Amino acid sequence: MFITALKEAIFIGIPALLLFGPVTGLILNGYEIIVDWQRPILLTLVVMVGRFLVSLGSSTEKGKHILESFSRKRSANVSVSTTQTTLPPLAIAGILCVAALLPFFLGNYWLNVLILALIYVLLGLGLNIVVGLAGLLDLGFVAFYAVGAYGFALGHEYLGLGFWTAIPFGAGLAACFGAVLGFPVLRMHGDYLAIVTLGFGEIIRLVLNNWMSFTGGPNGVSAPLPTFFGMEFTSRAKQGGVPYHEVLGPIIGIDYSRSARYIFVYLILLIVVSLMVIFVVRLKNMPIGRAWEALREDEIACRSLGINHVTVKLSAFSMGAMVGGIGGVFFAASQGFVNPTSFTFFESALILAIVVLGGLGSTIGVITAAVLLTILPELLRDFSDYRVLIFGLAMVMMMVWRPRGLLKIRRPAFKLGRSA
């Protein structure tokens, strides 16, 4: 038993050493090589010890039991119940209160991190409609995020749009983009759709990058700061309004603070995110949401029931795009500036990672994943280099072990009378 475990460890060690050897052991330095023989050996040892422990574990009863809990679960863990949320209302109210009060105790840096986290929640919710509910893999989601952000920035520059008009404008524009791009594309099946959306995402970024005269190219465009009933959150008015401390100062006695604009954006974002969560949760139990999930389960059966798969997919696609567009408007408003580097494929992959790690289709999971994935890297600065590597590994591992997410999936139960 011990010997077999050792054998298996060596068996896996040889390819591991060959894989790690040249890439981690021979480091390019110009046209020269620096030899670092420790790294590959260390990595190989990690793999071998892991394999050894697993082999050893699977030969004892207790070990088997532990390994069993890590084994692959193909079918989802589903429960049917009449309650709709997994959290009691009191807990939700508590979380909201804490979230609303948080910005007043934080510096600008962390405030920005929180704003970003909320934007990712919004993007995660949007992509979750497309990938989690409708089962359409969209690898170019960042395109709609870009449309929202640029819609606000360029809309201000050319049409004089303000922040409040930009929200519906950005949302509508992104939804239109989604519909126009989606219509021809949504007829094709899963894998092709993924690649085509990826292509679209890149096309939009490249156009933003190269159309100097309209978008400012790599230099980007500036976006105005948000206002609230004519109040501006700067020390001096720049957009023809009044600075907020001149209005509110006499009434409630507050002075100008540099974090005011961030607090303002954060609070608005918090409200929008809460509304969006309600919206998405409600959607799931409406005919359209049911049709999305049915489409994910079996497209052919859907067609046999008179459901036009193209328009139903299209509704999911443009609904997701709309949410992404709103996220983009807030991104532009909080940064005060947009350029194409914020909209690379990596960003799409990150949003996808949020949806996958949160568990496809789970709203609570997506919110948790979005917050964790933006805040953890800030806390663990030392590991920031390894951030993406870990995301990638986590995505692979999720697909291998828990393709339907870590949380229990709940489905609504219906009360039916026994007799007519």
Of residues 22-51, which lie at the interface with other proteins (CB under 8 A)?
22-24, 26-28, 30-33, 39
CA distances from 266 to 104, 195, 334, 351, 353 (A): 11, 35, 9, 20, 24
Interface pattern 309-348 for other proteins (x via CB under 8 A): xxx---------------------------------x---
Kindly tell me which residue out of 131, 146, 173, 265 binds other proteins, with binding defined by CB under 8 A. 131
Given the complex with other proteins, which of 36 and 238 has the nearer CB atom?
Answer: 36
Q: Which stretch binds other proteins (CB under 8 A): 97-105, 152-160, 301-309, 376-384?
A: 301-309
Given the complex with other proteins, which of 120 and 266 has the nearer CB atom?
Answer: 120
Residues 6+ apart with CB under 8 A from 117: 370, 371, 374, 375
Asked whether 347 and 373 are in contact (CB, 8 A), the reply is: no
Q: Which stretch binds other proteins (CB under 8 A): 119-127, 221-229, 248-256, 287-295?
A: 287-295
CA–CA distance, 257 with 275 (Å, rounded to integer)? 28
- Please count the residues of the chain: 420
Given the complex with other proteins, which of 75 and 83 has the nearer CB atom?
Answer: 75
Tell me the one-letter amino acid at 399. M
**What residues from 401 to 420 belong to the interface with other proteins (CB under 8 A)?**
403, 409, 411-414, 416-418, 420
Query: Six-digit token pair at 164?
Result: 């409040």
Longest dimension (CA), the chain: 84
Q: What are the respective helix, strand and coil percentages of the chain, to the nearest 5?
A: 70, 5, 20
105 touching other proteins, by CB under 8 A: no
Asked whether 247 and 220 are in contact (CB, 8 A), the reply is: no
372 touching other proteins, by CB under 8 A: no
| Total site size for other proteins, rule CB under 8 A | 95
283 touching other proteins, by CB under 8 A: yes
CB of 19 to other proteins, least distance (A): 6
CB of 32 to other proteins, least distance (A): 6
Given the complex with other proteins, which of 92 and 397 has the nearer CB atom?
Answer: 397
Asked whether 358 and 124 are in contact (CB, 8 A), the reply is: yes
110 touching other proteins, by CB under 8 A: no
- Could you write out the DSSP letters of every residue in 319-349? HHHHHHHHHHHHHHHHHSEE-GGGGSHHHHH
Query: Six-digit token pair at 71?
Result: 């084994």
Query: Six-digit token pair at 11?
Result: 């068996």
Closest CA to 224 of 173, 158, 163: 163
Kindly tell me which residue out of 360, 366, 370, 373 binds other proteins, with binding defined by CB under 8 A. 360
Closest CA to 136 of 309, 368, 343, 304: 309
**What residues from 377 to 396 belong to the interface with other proteins (CB under 8 A)?**
385-386, 388-389, 391-396
The number of helix segments (H) and strand segments (E) in the chain equals 17, 9
63 touching other proteins, by CB under 8 A: no
**What residues from 184 to 203 belong to the interface with other proteins (CB under 8 A)?**
184-185, 188-192, 194-196, 198-200, 202-203
With residue 306 as reference, give the H or E element that holds it.
none
Interface pattern 76-95 for other proteins (x via CB under 8 A): x-x-x---------------
Given the complex with other proteins, which of 186 and 268 has the nearer CB atom?
Answer: 186
Given the complex with other proteins, which of 336 and 412 has the nearer CB atom?
Answer: 412
Interface pattern 214-253 for other proteins (x via CB under 8 A): ----------------------------------------
